[in-house]
A and B are shown apart, each in its own frame.
Chain A
């Protein structure tokens, strides 16, 4: 049984369509990251699930209950807000106890449950403090405890780590993941940080301009993006415009300004179609000026180094492979090529990925 199901969810604000026909199903116990740039509609989606905004169209199902019309307090989801929304006039204990009070639990039971969850998130002993007396990380965990203690069917997290410094963010990332696995609670995690999404999620839903671009496991999203938008958003990549000249199963041959390239590609590409080739810098090797004979399945292209930037553990090269196309290549610190050198860039055809569409 799916714990959270969105069917054709749409939200319009006047003329602006914030979320368009979103259909998504979360399996029990999985953590799905809702990933996208600012303004893509992910927070709006979360708010609709929690009941703070009413959808223009579509249904929301929590468990097997249709909650689309239900007020927020009647839904069984727990939400952690981006700025935590801890009640400033209540102590940590009282904050966490709030949801249990609403459920009508007796005092002794509440006290027990609150103590339990506070211990669990490592806040035991801080119960009498007020939110303003806590550090950012502690406030975060209080917000988590408050949402979890009510045993929600679904946990909603709205960019929970956005306000923490980089180091704390990394720690909390693993912490949240571990906690979620331990409790086996279905979780929807909204974020604009794609590294975070790839690390945390069982599956990633990429949302752009209100439209679902792709929904799949992190490796899928990273290695086999279905649209150029997803490819550009996730990680760093090089784009080469081209045209499909031949196709055999999942292998493609494309004509590009840098020459003939062999690649893999999306299922909807046909011969004669315009395509964008995506090659990630880490898959490209930098070699000497003479390509020699390239082994089967490896693409080799001649080029000239235009720029060389020292990044610390890596060197970043911009290589001109003809017709104004610049490829970004990352080499190890030992790479000796300099600006102006003639080089050969090579990459496996399995690492080249063709997508439908033109520039942009």
Chain B
């Protein structure tokens, strides 16, 4: 596509597809800000009444708080485990590298719904019943570790080992080297991985569907139940929160790590 006229067709197609991609997301935000209960064309007016309704809904705010708490705990576990695993694989993996890499990514690759079922039945076999909070933490950690692992690995692979060697040569022990040289430099990757993990847990549906119970209902499940029967834009408020979070995460990751690492080679 060398000339202007040729690019025009491509650009038109591209704009249309991006519009298609972003349409439902934009619609959700519009619905949350719409004054009417149904999104009409032309739009009725701007209002925050649905935000108020959301804040007043006990079930929504409770599950929002629950989702945030769950995501926070999962993030800590997944970030530590994922970063350690990434360090090991990139530096000391050796022959087991490919196999273990596959295993670490596997939870992302298999259908989440199947993992949820497998966990449900497994917990029952262990006598945990529906296991509640602990089960959800473990289930979510399972799909969050791969994200942390992938992002931190992408950063570690680019890391100049001679920096660590220089530190050792100057008298720093292995642990001091990690603390003073390696960690500060891969910080961006670790943080990106952490916020990716947070959002993943926050949005996670398939596993939560099977493992959640009374009193342990994450927001997506609450939403799902709600949407089966009602059409109230209160749900759109929950959606808007998720969209805002997603944007923040993507922008921060782009800044810290660069999103390209997610597809070139990663």
Contacts and interface: CB of A to CB of B under 8 A. Distances in A.
Question: Chain A: interface secondary structure?
Answer: loop
A147 to B, nearest CB: 8
B170 A102 contact: yes
Nearest to B184: A89
B162 A81 contact: yes
Interface string B172-212: 11101000110011000000000000000000000000000
B8 interface: no
A83 to B, nearest CB: 6
A52 B165 contact: yes
B186 to A, nearest CB: 11
B173 to A, nearest CB: 6
B162 A83 contact: yes
B165 A72 contact: yes
B165 A98 contact: no
Interface in B156-173: 160, 162-163, 165-173
Interface in B86-114: none
A51 B168 contact: yes
A156 to B, nearest CB: 8
Contacts of B171: 73, 99, 102-103, 150
Interface residues of A, number: 25
A85 interface: yes
A339 B169 CA distance: 58
Nearest to A76: B171
Interface-central residue, A77, A98, A102, by most chain B CB under 10 Å: A102
B181 A87 contact: yes
Contact of A79 (B169, B174, B185): B169
B181 to A, nearest CB: 6
A89 B165 contact: no
A50 interface: yes
Interface in A45-98: 50-52, 71-73, 75, 77-79, 81-83, 85-89, 98
A79 B171 CA distance: 11
A154 to B, nearest CB: 11
B168 A73 contact: yes
A78 B184 CA distance: 24
A81 B162 CA distance: 8
Contacts of A88: 163, 185
Interface in B109-140: none
A85 B170 contact: no
Given A89-B184, A89-B185, A72 B168 contact: yes
Contacts of A72: 165, 168-169
B113 to A, nearest CB: 43
B185 to A, nearest CB: 6
B168 A78 contact: no
Given A79-B166, A85-B162, A73 B172 contact: yes
A42 interface: no
A98 B170 contact: yes
Contact of B176 (A78, A79, A86, A102): A102
A323 B184 CA distance: 67
A11 to B, nearest CB: 16
Nearest to A89: B184
B170 A150 contact: yes
Contacts of B162: 81-83, 85
A85 B182 CA distance: 13
A59 to B, nearest CB: 20
Interface string A89-127: 100000000110011000000000000000000000000
A99 to B, nearest CB: 4
A60 to B, nearest CB: 14
B211 to A, nearest CB: 42
Contacts of A147: 169
Contacts of A102: 170-172, 176
A51 B168 CA distance: 9
Interface string A142-159: 000011001000000000
B156 to A, nearest CB: 15
Contacts of A77: 169
A255 to B, nearest CB: 53
Contacts of A98: 167, 170, 172, 180
Nearest to A96: B170
A50 B165 CA distance: 9
B163 A50 contact: no
A111 B160 CA distance: 28
Interface-central residue, B166, B169, B180, B184, by most chain A CB under 10 Å: B169
Contact of B166 (A51, A75, A87): A87
Contact of B168 (A71, A83, A150): A71
Contacts of A103: 171
- Ranked 3 nearest A-B pairs via Cβ: A102-B171, A99-B170, A72-B168
5 contacts: A50-B169, A51-B168, A72-B168, A73-B169, A73-B173
